[in-house]
A and B are shown apart, each in its own frame.
Chain A
Amino acid sequence: MKNYLIIMLVIMPTLIASYAQAVTVAVFPVEDLSEGRNGVNFTLTDFLQQNLQERGIDVIPRDTIISFMSRNRIRWLGFLGTSHIYQVRDDLGADFVLFGTVSQRQELPLAAFGMVLTLVRTSDARTVWTEVGGVSKADISNFLAIDEPESIDDLFPVLAQQLLSSWPAVLEVTGQNPCIVIESTRLSPQHVKPGDEVNCAVKIRPPAGGETISQVLLMVGDDNYLEMVEISPNSYSVVWSAPDGRDGFLPVSLVLRCQSGRTLVFFVGNYQIDTSSPKLSLKVAGKRVNNFIAFNDRLPITPVWQDPEPLSRWSLFIQSMTGQVMAGTENKGALPKRFVWRGQRPDGHKAEDGIYEIVLKVWDRANNPSVATQKVFLKSNPPNPRINAAVGNENLIVTLDSENAIPVDFWSAEIMYSDGEVLLQSQGSDLPVDILIPFPSPSDSRKLECFVNMKDVLGNKVQKKIDNLMQLITVEDNAPEPPKQQEWVPEF
């Protein structure tokens, strides 16, 4: 009897201790940040599994965990979402999940190893134990360097023992009441005009054995409650129209009413009711000529905001007065700070001189449109100089003018003999102008040549050469015209 009692006294604490530790742990593959964001370390995973088994803890096999990860499309290591933690309990029967992260594992410049271990309870997704440690070769110095670590392979067991030494003696499987998990929410669109439809969809994961949800509502604004419709198990949706007469942001919250009478409120986000169109104009960097902005080569176009706001999309087109589109571009999102039109058609050739209209259309995030237009005058052809010569009293009068409407910015004229002797040089900015040249000597047989350079205010340039200026002379004939023949004659 005495022996029996002694055996019982020895066995009972062991049984109680083993019962206390009769927990199942899912050791997820250890994340190895030294191998990059997707690094995994199966050697360490196996080591941890083995260590836990030696402590009498049930461990879920590695293949089962990898299969679970694959089934649930878990792409990252080192953590799980609450929903997946509950899933581990439901699917794998694990009481705890052990996550490991290798923060450092390097041989150079000095062997170092760092690790973070976290134990999460699956009943309430709470972290119940966590430990961080780092060890370097320089940390372990022994007398006469006996048994000093040489590589990270020697460091790992030292660190693992350090971390696991604080492993809880008793692991409490039952935690707090599991919470309701909001798996996803979607509020769209987030910017609307009055009367536009707004949709909100939520997916909820009610806890197994936890509170039962009796009503799922959406609170729009401060006091407008909408009942959400269950479109599939645990997925709810509701559509409503944005109210008139409101301009601004309205908060949206999910309200869950439980059978226990408890009400849970989760903020989903805001949506904006926008009643006004974007306000902007166009600024073009051309030359103002006769109430038009004129340019010859490239035209920088800058949108100017009166009240900047984000855009959903925009389009810019340049069209002729007949409606033919010369250039255009459109895109989603923000408006570029500047556009440049090089005065070309869509095929890359120069567009004809004339008047064009730039049309910029923008839509804000609530799809309110706004249009800004600007007419411009394209003049890429050079000025056309008109040169006349007439005989004056003592001089030869050369009259210089331009046939174009665009004012001339600069002109120069050089009159010289055919052998290169310069007779006169003149320049200026105003046209028309009369240039007086002394008559050449009657005995001089050389031709008079004329070179004219002209540049308009847009920068178009031209150079014209007259080989024989005397040919342009118009002789004024005051004699009466001979009478015209009234009838056909045999000879003429």
Chain B
Amino acid sequence: MNFAQSRYFIPFLLIAILLGVSSCTSSRPSLEKKNVYEGESVCSVALLPFINASRFEQGNFISQRVFAAELNRVGGIAVASEGDVQNIYRELRIFPNQLPDIEQIKVVGSRLDVQLVISARITEMEEKMGDNYVNPVLALTLQIYDAKSGKTMWTTHHRREGSDYRTVMHFGLVNSVTQLSRIMSDEIIEEWFAEGMKQCGK
């Protein structure tokens, strides 16, 4: 590389790095710990039906399916069958958009032989139309309950936009809510492990 080339290359590189850094400053999931999980490594969980408080139709089902898949794939955690959870909801007469009480969470945990029970509320889900691209937005709040005691242990809130993942120009942009759900699910699971949840088998 001669001097003339390096004269243009270095500023370009600096601008590219600045752009990249500025677009990668998105926040981590916020976590509020209430109780300490005293069990061993987490190998099995049950997901309660996610509650959709957004205007995105079926947003709760999309998010729940993706989160269950990522818990299994990334976290190596066995997720109790959604059908089993629904059967217990029917038996206990809990509406899908209603959260069970402590006793009911204990029933879910005991019947499905899981260590943790997780509920979630989708507070925001939409696809904003950008300039020749779509900017999906997702915000959700998850609660983790100890299946034995039914007590809330952790609360996690996470909000992201597809544009948060932009690297340079349009590169790195996340363009659909499914992709965004998957990435955010991974971030939440990683955050849980980073904050002390023991991964199954470790």
Q: Which residues of A contact B (CB under 8 A)?
A: 33-34, 36-37, 76, 78-82, 84-85, 101, 103-104, 109-110, 112-116, 118, 120, 125-127, 130-139, 179, 182-186, 253, 265-270
Contact = CB atoms under 8 A, between A and B. Distances in A.
Nearest to A128: B72
Question: Closest 10 interchain pairs by CB?
Answer: A114-B178, A134-B178, A81-B83, A136-B175, A267-B110, A134-B179, A79-B82, A130-B69, A134-B176, A33-B58
Interface stretch (B24-32, B126-134, B193-201): B126-134
Contacts, number: 133
Contacts of A104: 62, 176-178
Given A85-B81, A104-B176, A136-B134, 14 more contacts: A36-B58, A78-B65, A79-B83, A82-B84, A103-B62, A109-B129, A114-B62, A114-B177, A125-B81, A130-B73, A134-B181, A138-B132, A138-B173, A266-B110
Contacts of B170: 138
Given A112-B176, A269-B107, A133 B182 contact: yes
Given A36-B58, A103-B66, A127 B83 contact: no
Contacts of B107: 267-269
A114 B73 contact: no
Interface string B78-109: 11011110110001100000000001001101
A80 B178 contact: no
Contacts of A134: 175-182
Contact of A179 (B57, B113, B180): B113
B100 to A, nearest CB: 11
A266 B66 CA distance: 29
A132 B177 contact: no
Given A132-B66, A136-B134, A138-B132, A78 B182 contact: no
Given A104-B178, A136-B175, A184 B91 contact: yes
Given A109-B134, A135-B176, A182 B111 contact: yes
A290 B88 CA distance: 59
Nearest to B69: A130
How extensive is the interface on chain B, given as a class?
Answer: 35 or more
Contacts of B86: 76, 81
B161 interface: no
B70 interface: yes
Contacts of B113: 179
Contacts of B179: 114, 133-136
19 contacts: A36-B58, A37-B58, A37-B61, A80-B83, A81-B86, A84-B83, A104-B176, A112-B134, A112-B175, A113-B176, A116-B69, A132-B69, A134-B177, A138-B170, A182-B111, A267-B109, A269-B92, A269-B103, A270-B103
Contact of A136 (B58, B70, B82, B176): B176
Contacts of B73: 130-132
Contacts of B110: 253, 265-267
A110 B176 CA distance: 9
A303 to B, nearest CB: 25
A186 B88 CA distance: 10
